[in-house]
Amino acid sequence: MKRFFRYTGWFFGAVLLLLAGPILLATSGSLQGAESWQTATRESARIAPLPEQAEEAIVQVYGARAWSWRGYFAVHTWIATKEKGASHYRVHEVTGWRSYVVNSRPGEPDRHWYGAKPNLYADIRGEEAEKLIPDIYQAVASYPYPTEYEAWPGPNSNTFVAWVIREVEGLDVALPNHAIGKDYLGDRIIAEVPGGAGYQVSLGGYFGVLAGIREGLELNLLGLSFGINPLALGVKLPGIGELALINTNPMTKPSME
């Protein structure tokens, strides 16, 4: 009987740990947005340079809190590209309200995600971006779940972005731990981490462990991840994300001119 109560205590303790972040966000009111997705802002956050102001090729990875209660748990991620000399960006993402879920079309790269301001995770420009863009197009076209969408544990928008990053050599970007779905590997159990230097083991996106130079160490339980990132001097909390002092992803340094 003592063993039963001990195991029960461990179980409820683990559940409380996993839900502490989402509960904190829900009760704090810090993620309050528009009451309807129809009225939620989709305006640009003015993060990316305007095409006419940047001749160079650009590759950026963004993420923003998911709509409604899902935002307490996860972010929605996407990739934006601009070819050298192009007059527009292309936005590559997955949304769950169409029969064909992959979207790759011209658009503003840094739009709010239905009221949620985006965060820039990676910013690659110039010759490096120019080399990556054709491979990104090819990876987007070969995404293995073009008509499938499951918010949890995947495949979803974060599964798509993680897939593209893994497929494109040289596009090494660590996604945040609360990008639920990034660990969904389909029929595979082992894969390289999106950050490019490390591996992860995942059982259908429900359980897994990840270790990488950019990502650090993550433990995934029921799709919610927590861990540490020594290189970034950060900790990873379910729902809240990574609290770090350093961004380990490639970022273009601001011009001194």
Preceding peptide of 146 cis, ω within 30°:
no
Which band of pLDDT confidence, cut at 50, 70 and 90, is reported for residue 256?
very low
Residue 198 lies in a domain: yes
Helix (H) or strand (E) holding 88: none
Residue 130 lies in a domain: yes
Residue 114 lies in a domain: yes
Q: What does the pLDDT look like over 199-251, one tens digit per residue?
A: 999 999 999 999 999 999 999 999 999 999 999 999 999 999 999 999 999 99
Q: What does the pLDDT look like over 121-152, one tens digit per residue?
A: 999 999 999 999 999 999 999 999 999 999 99
Residue 151 lies in a domain: yes
Residue 9 lies in a domain: no
User: Burial of 222 by CB count in 10 Å (0-12 exposed, 13-18 middle, 19+ buried)?
Assistant: middle
Query: For the chain, what is the domain count?
Result: 1
Identify the domain containing residue 205 by its residue range: 32-243
Between 183 and 4, residue with greater pLDDT? 183
Three-state DSSP class for residue 42: coil
Q: What does the pLDDT look like over 203-214, one tens digit per residue?
A: 999 999 999 999
CA–CA gap between residue 55 and residue 203 (Å, rounded): 44
Residue 115 lies in a domain: yes
Give the closest residue to 94 by CA, choosing from 132, 165, 147.
147
